[in-house]
Amino acid sequence: MSLSNSDIFAALRAIVGEAGVVADATDMGQYLNEPRKRFKVPAVAVALPGSVPELQAICRWANEHRVGLIPQGGNTGLVGAQVPLTGREVIVSLRRLDTVREVNAAAGHMTLEAGVILEEAHKVAEAAGALFPLWLASQGSARIGGVLSSNAGGVQVLAYGNARELTLGVEAVLADGRLYNGLNSLRKDNTGYDLRDLLVGSEGTLGFITAATLKLFPIPEAQETALVNVPSPAVALELFGLLRGRVGTQLTAFELINRFGIDLQLKRAMLARDPSASLSPWYVLAEVSRPKGGTPGTLQAALEEALGSGLVPDAVVAESEAERVAMWAAREQMSDVQSKEGASIKHDVSVPIGAVPALLAEGTAAVERAIPGVRACPFGHMGDGNIHFNFTQPEGADPKAFMAREKDANAAIYEVVQRLHGSVSAEHGIGQLKTELLKQVKDPVALEMMRAIKLALDPNGILNPGKMLGQGPE
């Protein structure tokens, strides 16, 4: 028999106290309003445990009474994984677990609790003279537990890896309230299945991450940044090979943007002036992070070689921090400017890097066939093979009518992605947005393995029910 709302409030208050439970619909708004504005299902309540034992008690109680719990960090996820699906769930926000447990810059690691905000993690590392290299546009709100559970990527995955690769160990509370102590700072540990890698990226479906030990790196001496004209994505790929050859792992960003995106930003006055050297259908934003004692000007030298050989027609190297900031703004505002131009259909996909030109050509052609007049606005982490393959509505079109065609655009893009052996979710995850899609595209044996793991760790299906794999065992 399911519990009434007042039974649930009473049980939660008994564990976390009156102040640790949000039951009022208006007060719950900040936990329910997610960035995509697509998912609008209410929650029964929000619980804010103030300690790991309190969280363990919530899990024990929920497991006994079959109450669905949704782990939440900063509520910035883009696939609806952190917000309710049925309206019968309790959101459990870990924002109060925000202690910095240890920082050891010399040994290259720090241990933070799940509620620490990503931007704060950067500051903690910097104060110790080290770098935590995971940057997202949402870093002012996203929290360590959410960043790890969604295995977030960002703009420097190329050099440092995504959240999974930056994690050495995790501590987690399981569905039945047991505490898994996997916090360690080992670089090598071959003692069985990798439970850290399983929990990172599990979108809150296998456990609550309560703390993590994260890798730290030396702070670079300086950044060298350029906006390079490339006539096509194929040339961008050749440029990538050249830069990797000349500057190696110092190449920390290799991002692709198109002219349409820059024009939109100029039209909407989101850029004071054009940061590029001259008109080009495509641009690459390349950045080199120079280590202390490294040779200055390596990016400039590599680009002179590319210009000299005729590979690229034009480029501009940032000569001041203001110019660098303007170049990054042109890249980071690509998504925002689209929403100002009307409705947009978005895809976060990846393919092997060598297949990015085919993805862009075939994907654009297929969507243009399906929706005449649509305007392609792809951009993203070309160096990782990860493109945010977005489409803006035709000029003057009705946004609702355009969004009614979303399924056609999705089908067109995912067909190309699958043919090129890519992934339908490169860095944003599955959540509730792509649950059905996952069933269609994932290897059936992989799906069976994933369901078996879920059943073993959460037999009553109380952790983030219905997310990622669809409905649970109940």
Kindly list the residues in this chain that would bind ligand FAD in the complex (CB under 6 A).
35, 70-78, 81-82, 94, 114, 136-138, 142-143, 145-147, 149-150, 152-154, 203-204, 208-209, 427-428, 464
Phi-psi region of 270 (alpha: psi -120 to 50; beta: other; left: phi over 0): alpha
- Nearer to ligand FAD among residue 136 and residue 251 (C-beta): 136
Q: In angstroms, give the least distance from the CB of 75 to ligand FAD.
A: 5
- Nearer to ligand FAD among residue 268 and residue 407 (C-beta): 268
Match 């809150």 to its residue by tokens. Answer: 204
Q: In angstroms, give the least distance from the CB of 154 to ligand FAD.
A: 4
Q: How far apart are CA 119 and CA 140, in angstroms?
A: 5
Residue showing the smallest CB distance to ligand FAD in the complex: 146
Cβ atoms of residues 380 and 359 within 8 Å: no
- Strands of 321-407 (E only): list them: 344-345, 348-350, 375-376, 379-381, 386-388, 391-392
Q: In angstroms, give the least distance from the CB of 24 to ligand FAD.
A: 20
Question: Counting Cβ atoms within 10 Å, is residue 258 exposed (0-12), middle (13-18) or buried (19+)?
Answer: buried
Q: In angstroms, give the least distance from the CB of 59 to ligand FAD.
A: 11
- Nearer to ligand FAD among residue 109 and residue 381 (C-beta): 381
Q: How far apart are CA 129 and CA 107, in angstroms?
A: 12
Q: How far apart are CA 278 and CA 71, in angstroms?
A: 47
Q: How far is CA 102 from each of CA 55, 119, 168, 184, rounded to the nearest angstrom?
A: 21, 17, 13, 12
- Nearer to ligand FAD among residue 112 and residue 374 (C-beta): 112
Cβ atoms of residues 388 and 346 within 8 Å: yes
What residues pair up with 289 in beta bridges, in sequence order? 223
- Nearer to ligand FAD among residue 21 and residue 172 (C-beta): 172
Q: How far apart are CA 86 and CA 187, in angstroms?
A: 41
Instruction: Name, in order, each residue with C-beta under 8 angstroms of 391's C-beta and a sequence gap of 6 or more.
Output: 344, 345, 346, 367, 371, 374, 375, 376, 377, 409
- Nearer to ligand FAD among residue 12 and residue 85 (C-beta): 85
Q: In angstroms, give the least distance from the CB of 255 to ligand FAD.
A: 11
Check the CA dihedral 372-373-374-380 and report its sign.
positive
Q: In angstroms, give the least distance from the CB of 179 to ligand FAD.
A: 13
Q: How far is CA 17 from each of CA 22, 174, 436, rounded to the nearest angstrom?
A: 11, 22, 38
Cβ atoms of residues 12 and 21 within 8 Å: yes
Q: In angstroms, give the least distance from the CB of 261 to ligand FAD.
A: 16
- Nearer to ligand FAD among residue 204 and residue 422 (C-beta): 204
- Nearer to ligand FAD among residue 71 and residue 383 (C-beta): 71
- Nearer to ligand FAD among residue 75 and residue 338 (C-beta): 75
Q: In angstroms, give the least distance from the CB of 266 to ligand FAD.
A: 21
Q: In angstroms, give the least distance from the CB of 426 to ligand FAD.
A: 8
What residues pair up with 179 in beta bridges, in sequence order? 173
